[in-house]
């Protein structure tokens, strides 16, 4: 009965991911920067084997895309984006944005999150 209830729950409640993106207080232009991504469902870490991909886009202050890539898996529900020095070197001082897209396999519906951060020399 418990297996049946679990199956019914999975069918009725799509496993749409919740994504929290954490940025450093500030980023120094020309130096690497690390951003943490928490991916959960119902407060529990989303298993890595149920995630198709976690990608990011880096935007400069004008809204132009500066870099795109795949986030690095750390552990279930935890990914990181490490912007290399050459990517942050393309940013001007001011407010920039990192956006992530997480695609869970069970629903294939992406969840987006973004964070603004300040860059300085």
Give the tens place of pLDDT for each residue, 107-118: 989 999 999 999
Whole-model pTM over 0.95: no
Give me the pLDDT at residue 14, please.
87
Read off the tokens for 81: 């984006």
Q: Given this model, what pLDDT does residue 6 score?
A: 55
Q: pLDDT, tens digit, for every residue of 49-107?
A: 999 999 999 999 999 999 999 999 999 999 999 999 999 999 999 999 999 999 999 99
Domain boundaries, the chain: 18-120
Q: What is the C-alpha radius of gyration for the chain, rounded to an integer number of angstroms?
A: 17
Note the pLDDT of residue 13: 77
Distance from C-alpha of 51 to C-alpha of 17, rounded to nearest angstrom: 9
Q: What's the CA angle centered on 105, arms 104 and 107, to 5 degrees?
A: 75
Give the SS3 label for residue 48: helix
pLDDT of residue 108: 83
Query: Phi and psi of 15, rounded to 5°?
Result: -80, 60
Confidence of residue 9 (pLDDT cuts 50, 70, 90): low
pLDDT value of position 75: 98
Query: Is domain 18-120 given the CATH code 2.60.40.1930 in the classification?
Result: yes
């Amino acid at each position: 009965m418990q297996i049946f209830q679990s199956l019914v729950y999975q069918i009725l409640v799509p496993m749409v991911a919740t994504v929290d993106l954490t940025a450093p207080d500030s980023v120094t232009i020309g130096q690497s920067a690390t951003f943490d991504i928490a991916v959960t469902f119902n407060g529990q870490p989303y298993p890595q084997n149920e995630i198709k991909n976690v990608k990011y886009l880096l935007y400069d202050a004008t809204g132009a895309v500066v870099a795109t890539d795949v986030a690095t898996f750390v552990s279930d529900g935890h990914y990181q984006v490490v912007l290399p020095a050459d990517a942050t070197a393309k940013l001007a001082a001011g407010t920039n944005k990192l956006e992530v897209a997480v695609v869970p396999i069970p629903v294939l519906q992406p969840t987006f999150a973004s964070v603004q951060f300040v860059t300085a020399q």
